Amino acid sequence: MVPSSTRTAPHFSSNRVKSIIGVFAALGIESLLIYALHQYWSTVGLLDTARAVALGLLIAIGLFGMSGCWYASRALIHAQRADKQWRAGHHQAARIDAEESRTHLASLAGIGLAILIVVFLLLFTSANGGKIRQVFLNGDFLSRSRPALLRGFWLNIKIFVTAQVLVTIWALLVAIVRQLPGRGAAPVRLLAVIYSDVFRGVPAVIVIYAVVLGFPLAGVPPFADMQDKDLQRFWLAVLALVLVYGAYVSEVYRAGIESIHWSQTAGARSLGLSQWQTYRHVIVPQAVRRILPPLLNDFIALQKDTALVSFAGLVDIVGQSNLLKNRFFNLTPVFGAALLFLAVTIPFTRFLDYLIRRDQARTQAG
Amino acid sequence: MTEPFIEIKQVHKWFGENHVLQGIDLEVHEHEVVCLIGPSGCGKSTLLRCINALEPIQEGSIRVDGEQASGRGVDVNWLRQDVGIVFQSYNLFPHMTVLRNITLAPIKALGLSKSEATDRAMTLLKRIGLDNKANDYPDRLSGGQQQRVAIARALAMRPRVMLLDEITSALDPELVHEVLNMVRELAADGMTMLLATHEMGFAKEVSSRVCFLYQGKVEEIAEPQEIFSSPKSAHTQRFLKSIIEAGRL
């Protein structure tokens, strides 16, 4: 019953040819890097102290690039040895050396790719005698625009935090309504479906126009009665973002709730917990844990979309950077605005990743 | 003879076109242990879920302690305080510690204070030797430990009858005995139980009566000695023969 073996003769490749190509590639990439570093250096116009720092950095990058050559030479040495071992009949030792050689070559490929990207960035920012850096990242303009940018960004943060809290509650409500059983709930279920379809389908900026500009024109209470116009626009902007993001986030919640196996409901209900208690203590807490990553995505998007309120005349960070841009005739303030967003979103992302990992470590078997 | 604690009369249940329970009659008296045996898909689990009102029935009636437990107008949350059920897959709440798993329902459904519920839970955990796991999450426990916690969770509601739905089927063979021992103790304490099981040796040992279900009907019901040594129905004979040939009895 057991078929006879049809294995082929053992195959061996020492990786030598690839290693030789690797050495040439490494040398080529390194010279490209040195060229790009030189280009960059010749276009920086900095003060003496800053020059020293910049020079040190550039040299460090150049030295880092050297490691590509090191990996290439290691790959070649191992390949040579593998060949020798194979000829001597030490097949296992030969394969080990060939594998080492391939590993080093893989490292070279990784470093080489990284260097090529750095080369591109260096050449790009040195183009036109370094004018690009002047337009995007002018240190002088950056420090002069900082107070106004921070003032604008504070408004973004206020809008974001308020909207996020409201979205969290509102979206859960919509998601639960969509899950309500029974014929009596059919009309509200339908409304919830229509709501999330409509507000996911309409561009956020249109909703913002409609709410922030349209509501005061139409005298919609209670916003029309607000005396403080800034406060009025603030709440209208929050409302617009909650409407848009509530639709997205409710779908995320729904997916999370549906992903919890019915046996959890059976377990909870069988103990005499009511439908509501089951939702509150068993289903929703598990669903929220499961959807944290996509929820986080939507919150980062929300954070960025607070920038859209500038279209409706709120002077947020984009509004401020726009004014500054026109004053300086330079895009550095806009770039500064981008940096400020990053300064908030990246730590926020890392922190939530940490929370997710910690929760998993606690509840899941090692 | 006293009134039966669980009284099942002509119960029919459909899943769509599938006629799962085809007129079941069964009575379980207080302090009785009744084992449901039968091939997969014969309706054992469904019957248990119907008694706990996790599934509605279409015809017939189920009464628990003289109270109607099926159909409309039943306070299911109140019914379930009397009727505990344990599932094959444990159904513990993975995001809560063992202690929270046990105290949740007594606090929320019975209205016990946190300290009362904790006392109750710790007493149960001590009895099953898992009090040192109180603050662990279920995933950290072995299958046998998880299932014992699930039983303790049901017991914390002080139910008057326990329904056990193939509670050892998902366990590794070496973990089965620790769960069965717990059930033996419950039986010795006089707990009324209705259990679906594939552990024939255990059914023979622990039950007052054994009920063989076949294609949604009660094919044969008798004392364990009788049903295992001289089954009357041809279906029962065939089922037991296949079990013996598989080396499971």
Residue reference for tokens 């085809």? B22
B135 contacts on A by Cβ (under 8 Å)? none
If asked whether residues A117 and A241 sit together in one domain, one would say no
Residue A292: its pLDDT value, please? 86
Across residues A66-72, what is the average pLDDT? 91
Residue A162: its pLDDT value, please? 95
Across residues B104-112, what is the average pLDDT? 94
Does residue A4 lie in a domain region? Answer: no
- Cβ distance B91 to A263 less than 8 Å, yes or no, reads yes
- Does A365 score more than 70 pLDDT? no
If asked whether residues A339 and A190 sit together in one domain, one would say yes
φ/ψ of B96, rounded to 5, equals: -120, 150
Residue in A263, A271, A281 closest to B80 by CB = A271
Domain-terminating residue out of A106, A134, A162: A134
**Which domain range does residue A64 map to?**
16-134
Confidence of residue A45 (pLDDT cuts 50, 70, 90): low
- The percent of residues in chain B predicted with pLDDT above 70, rounded, is 99
Residue A125: its pLDDT value, please? 83
Residue A8: its pLDDT value, please? 77
If asked whether residues A156 and A106 sit together in one domain, one would say no
Residues pairing with B109 in the sheet: none
Higher pLDDT, A143 or A288: A288
Residue in B54, B139, B154 closest to A364 by CB = B139
Does residue A1 lie in a domain region? Answer: no
- Does B172 score more than 90 pLDDT? no
If asked whether residues A121 and A211 sit together in one domain, one would say no
**Residue B231 contacts residue B237 (beta carbons within 8 Å):** yes
Q: Report pLDDT digits (tens) over A185-214.
A: 899 999 999 999 999 999 999 999 999 888
A270 contacts on B by Cβ (under 8 Å)? 52, 54, 80, 84-85, 87, 154
**Residue B73 contacts residue B151 (beta carbons within 8 Å):** no
Across residues A8-24, what is the average pLDDT? 86
What is the rounded CA–CA span in Å between residue A308 and residue A81? Answer: 62
CATH number at residue A157: 1.10.3720.10
Residue A42: its pLDDT value, please? 82
- Cβ distance B77 to A274 less than 8 Å, yes or no, reads yes
- Cβ distance B84 to A277 less than 8 Å, yes or no, reads no
- Structural domain count of chain A: 2
Residues pairing with B94 in the sheet: none
Q: Report pLDDT digits (tens) over A293-316.
A: 888 889 989 988 998 988 888 888
Q: Report pLDDT digits (tens) over B14-61.
A: 998 999 999 999 999 999 999 999 998 889 999 999 999 999 999 999
If asked whether residues A164 and A73 sit together in one domain, one would say no
Q: Please count the residue pairs, one from chain A and one from chain B, whose beta carbons lie less than 8 angstroms apart.
A: 68
Q: Which domains does chain B have, with CATH numbers?
A: 6-92+161-245 (3.40.50.300)
If asked whether residues A59 and A191 sit together in one domain, one would say no
B54 token code pair:
């996790």
Domain-terminating residue out of A134, A156, A177: A134
A191 token code pair:
């409304």
What is the rounded CA–CA span in Å between residue B230 and residue B224? Answer: 10
- Cβ distance A269 to B80 less than 8 Å, yes or no, reads yes
Q: Report pLDDT digits (tens) over A337-360.
A: 888 889 988 898 888 888 888 888
How far A292 CA sits from the closest chain B CA (Å)?
Answer: 14
If asked whether residues A107 and A125 sit together in one domain, one would say yes
Average pLDDT, chain A: 87
Instruction: Please state, as a whole number, how many other Cβ atoms lie within 10 Å of the Cβ of residue A169.
Output: 11
Does residue A9 lie in a domain region? Answer: no
If asked whether residues A108 and A177 sit together in one domain, one would say no
ipTM given for this complex: 0.90
Sheet hosting strand B161-165, strand order edge to edge: B83-86, B161-165, B192-196, B33-37, B209-214, B217-222
What is the rounded CA–CA span in Å between residue A49 and residue B187? Answer: 86
Q: Does the beta carbon of B14 lie under 8 angstroms from any beta carbon of chain A?
A: no
A267 contacts on B by Cβ (under 8 Å)? 87, 91-93
How far B93 CA sits from the closest chain A CA (Å)?
Answer: 7
What is the rounded CA–CA span in Å between residue A75 and residue A328? Answer: 53
Domain-terminating residue out of A134, A169, A185: A134
If asked whether residues A248 and A285 sit together in one domain, one would say yes
The H or E element spanning position B127 is helix B114-127
Q: HSE (CB half, 13 Å, CA atoms) of B143?
A: 15
